[in-house]
C-alpha cells in the first residue's frame, strides 16, 4: 500500500466569488421586499390634488372619509365613536401618535371640520389631511 506524501495535498480554499454573488442577491431581495412593506392599506378614492403635497408615511391611523360620510380605518369600515375610542387609546399609549385623514374630493367641507372638531375633543391633536400630488408638466 502506497501512502501519499503530505506535500501533495492541496490547501483548502475559500471561494469568494460565489459568496459575493449570494450577498448581492440578498441585498437586492431585501431592498425590493422593503418597497412592498410601505404599501398603505387604503380605499381608492378621488382625492383633491395639490401642487406642494408632501409624502409622509409615519402616521399610525389612516382614516378615509367617503363622499357618503362613511368612515374607514385603513380598509375596514368603522363608526365614528369606535374610531375616536381607538384613537384616544392609541394616543395615550403612543406620544407620537398621528392620524392622516383622506377625504373624497366631493365631500362637504363641513363634514371634515366636524370630524376634526371631534378629534380635538377626544384629545387627538396630531393629524394631517391627505391630497394627491398634482402631475408636474
pLDDT tens column, 10-56: 777 778 888 889 999 999 999 888 876 655 566 777 777 777 777 66
pLDDT at 65: 92
Over residues 114-130, mean pLDDT: 90
Note whether 79 and 85 are within 8 A (CB). Answer: no
| CA-based end-to-end distance of the chain | 84
pLDDT at 38: 57
Q: Which carries the bigger pLDDT value, residue 127 or residue 41?
A: 127
Give the whole-angstrom CA distance, residue 69 versus residue 111.
Answer: 7
Overall CATH class of domain 49-133: alpha beta
* Number of Cβ atoms within 10 Å of the Cβ of 128: 14
Please, which pLDDT band fits residue 6 given cuts at 50, 70 and 90? low
pLDDT tens column, 60-118: 788 999 988 899 998 889 999 999 999 999 989 988 888 889 899 888 889 999 999 99
DSSP 3-state of 73: strand
Amino acid at each position: 500500500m502506497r501512502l501519499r506524501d503530505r506535500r501533495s495535498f492541496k490547501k483548502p480554499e475559500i471561494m469568494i466569488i460565489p459568496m459575493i454573488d449570494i450577498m448581492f442577491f440578498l441585498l437586492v431581495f431585501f431592498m425590493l421586499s422593503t418597497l412592498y412593506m410601505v404599501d398603505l392599506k387604503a380605499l381608492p378614492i378621488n382625492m383633491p390634488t395639490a401642487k406642494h403635497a408632501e409624502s409622509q408615511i409615519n402616521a399610525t391611523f389612516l382614516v378615509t372619509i367617503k363622499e357618503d360620510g362613511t368612515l374607514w380605518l385603513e380598509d375596514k369600515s368603522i363608526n365614528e365613536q369606535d374610531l375616536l375610542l381607538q384613537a384616544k387609546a392609541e394616543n395615550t399609549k403612543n406620544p407620537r401618535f398621528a392620524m392622516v385623514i383622506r377625504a373624497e374630493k366631493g365631500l362637504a367641507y363641513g363634514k371634515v371640520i366636524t370630524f376634526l372638531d371631534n378629534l380635538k375633543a377626544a384629545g387627538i391633536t396630531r393629524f394631517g389631511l391627505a391630497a394627491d400630488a398634482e402631475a408636474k408638466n
